[in-house]
Amino acid sequence: MELADFIDHTNLKPTATVSDIQKLCDEAIKHHFYAVCVNGCNVAVAKKAIKESPVKLAAVIGFPLGAMSTKAKIFEAMDCIDHGADEIDMVINIGWLKSGMFDAVREEIKVIKEAIGETVLKVIIETCYLTDAEKEEACSLAKDARADFVKTSTGFGTGGATYDDVVLMKGIVGDELKIKASGGVKDQATAKKYIELGVSRIGTSSGPDLIK
C-alpha cells in the first residue's frame, strides 16, 4: 500500500471556510488519499466536492470535548450519515472515563455503533488527558463495544499522537480493532514510523507534505 492509502486528510478548524473544504477535497482527490475528515456542518459540502471519486468521507461527532449527551452524539452521527458520511469519528466522554464510569463509556460507544450499523466507527480516546491505565481501559471498552477503530487524539487537546501511545493501544486491541494516529503527524518519516507500529490510518492536515 502507498502512504496516501493511510491518510485521512483533515480540516476541523472552526474557521474553515467552504473554499477551505473544497481545497481539502481537491487535494485528497489529486493525491489519492483514503479519506477527508470534516466537521458535521461541512459534510454536505465535502460530499459534493469529492463527487464520484473513491475518496471516503469521515465526519467527527461529539467533537472535540466528548462531553455532549449520548442522544446528541447519536443524532449528530445520523445527520452526518444522512448527508453522505462514510465514517464517524466520535470522542468518548473523557470525564466519565476518568470518573471510573466504565459501563457508561462502553454503553455510549455500543449504542452509537448500533445506531450507525455498518458505517465505520472510530473512537477518539484523547490520550493526552489519560494515564496509561485509562488509555488501556478506553481501548478495552471500545473493543468490547465493537467499534472499528481506536484513535489517539482530536488534535485539539494538549497533545497529539505518540509512538508510545500507539504501542500501548496495539497491545490492547491487537488485530481486533484498527488504530488511527492523529494530531501532530506532519512529516513523512513520522507517518511511516506509525505505520510500522501498526497504524491503519493517519489523521493529518499535512497530507500533501507527507507524500512529497
Per-residue pLDDT of 130-173, as tens digits, reads: 999 999 999 999 999 999 999 999 999 999 999 999 999 999 99
Q: Into how many domains does the chain fold? A: 1
Q: Distance between CA 53 and CA 32 in Å, rounded?
A: 9
Res. 1: pLDDT tops 90: no
The identity of residue 53, as a single letter, is: S
Q: Distance between CA 21 and CA 171 in Å, rounded?
A: 36
CATH number, domain with residue 159: 3.20.20.70
Task: Pick the catalytic residue from 143, 148, 151, 165.
Answer: 151
Q: Identify the domain containing residue 63 by its residue range.
A: 3-210
Task: Pick the catalytic residue from 89, 113, 122, 135.
Answer: 89
Cα 132-135-139 angle, rounded to 5 deg: 145
Nearest to 178 by CA among 140, 122, 105, 128: 122
Per-residue pLDDT of 25-38, as tens digits, reads: 999 999 999 999 99
Which pLDDT value is given to residue 109?
98
Q: Does residue 178 have an active-site annotation?
A: no
Q: Does residue 212 have an active-site annotation?
A: no
Alpha helices (H) along the chain: 18-31, 43-50, 70-82, 94-98, 102-116, 132-144, 163-173, 188-196, 207-210
- DSSP, residue by residue, 55-95: -EEEEEESTTT--S-HHHHHHHHHHHHHTT-SEEEEE--HH
Q: Distance between CA 197 and CA 181 in Å, rounded?
A: 10
Instruction: Assign 212 a pLDDT band (cuts: 50, 70, 90).
Output: confident
Q: Does residue 180 have an active-site annotation?
A: yes
Question: What is the grid cell recorded at 71?
Answer: 442522544
Task: Pick the catalytic residue from 73, 122, 143, 180.
Answer: 180
Res. 21: pLDDT tops 90: yes
Res. 50: pLDDT tops 90: yes
